[in-house]
Amino acid sequence: MRFKISLIAVLIFFLLPDLCSFGVTDFEIYEASALNQVIKRNKLVVGMEVKFFPFEYVDTDGRPIGFDVELAKIAAMELGVEIEIKDMEFSGLIPALQAGKIDMIISGMTRTPARARTVSYTQPYFKTGLCALISNKRAPEVSETVQLNAENRILAVKLGTTGDIVTARLFPKARVKRFKEETECVLEVVSGRADAFIYDEVSIIRHFALNKETTHAILKPFTYEPYAIAIRHGDFDFLNWLNLLLETIKADGRYEELRGKYFSDLQQRSG
């Protein structure tokens, strides 16, 4: 009996430190968080595709501006660090985040359950939906989305966007044409090579306004698109910080100011 007890004591003595090392301490979680790394290196690296007006685009000097750009700048300012914006293709943003090349994505990106399997999202900072820009030449009679689900329809989408993903599900009978650039999709519709372009509300409103002669539009959103900031999966320190930031700027007027600056001329639902 005695022997047994001392054997157990010896085993605990030698094995306990090993067992403990499997656990991760709070300090290690803090060290690994992008929040800590950003502060340590004195720079916040933000990934976006600077081609999504008015969320991210360039001014006449080629500098990134827009709603998301200003939001990212507020984050950097509140962290007390510099900002670096990395412009990349939309479909390359999540891989870049996972590879540690950027600290966060803010790029008019819709948070979806599928994407949230690989990255973590903050609370939404803008709520919108998908709409359709329709070709007067190819589809003058189309006024409802159900009409787009037919074999003779050609739908243009931007590669890797929710418009791309949703089109395959909602309009399975139609033929889908995928393009890297938003402008290519618009051109397809304007020139009558596609029936419709399925994309985010704010962009469709703008393209319709710019192409009144050649297009019409379905401007009642037919999906739910909450835009959110994406960070590496499971980084709860950074996630908490960013959610607190969004909550704070929504309460202190900075968020409304930004909305007024970028969306005053667009008819927008509140988000």
- Interface positions with ligand GLN (CB under 6 A): 49, 52, 90, 107-110, 158, 161-162, 200, 225
In order of 76, 120, 127, 143, 237, the CA distances from 42 in angstroms are: 9, 23, 31, 52, 17
Q: Which amino acid is at 253?
A: G
- Closest by CA to 94, choosing from 237, 241, 232, is 232
Helices (H), the chain: 2-22, 26-32, 34-41, 67-79, 93-98, 162-170, 182-190, 201-210, 236-252, 254-263
* Matching residue, tokens 């720079």: 43
Which C-beta is closer to ligand GLN: that of 70 or that of 225? 225
Which C-beta is closer to ligand GLN: that of 115 or that of 259? 115
Smallest gap from Cβ 97 to ligand GLN, in A, equals 14
For helices 67-79 and 254-263, give the axis angle rounded to 10 degrees. 160
Smallest gap from Cβ 44 to ligand GLN, in A, equals 19
For residue 9, give both structure tokens: 């004591």
Which C-beta is closer to ligand GLN: that of 92 or that of 192? 92
Smallest gap from Cβ 128 to ligand GLN, in A, equals 8
Cα separation, 228 vs 231, in Å, equals: 10
Which C-beta is closer to ligand GLN: that of 199 or that of 255? 199
Smallest gap from Cβ 250 to ligand GLN, in A, equals 20
For residue 96, give both structure tokens: 């870049």
Smallest gap from Cβ 85 to ligand GLN, in A, equals 14
Which C-beta is closer to ligand GLN: that of 135 or that of 162? 162
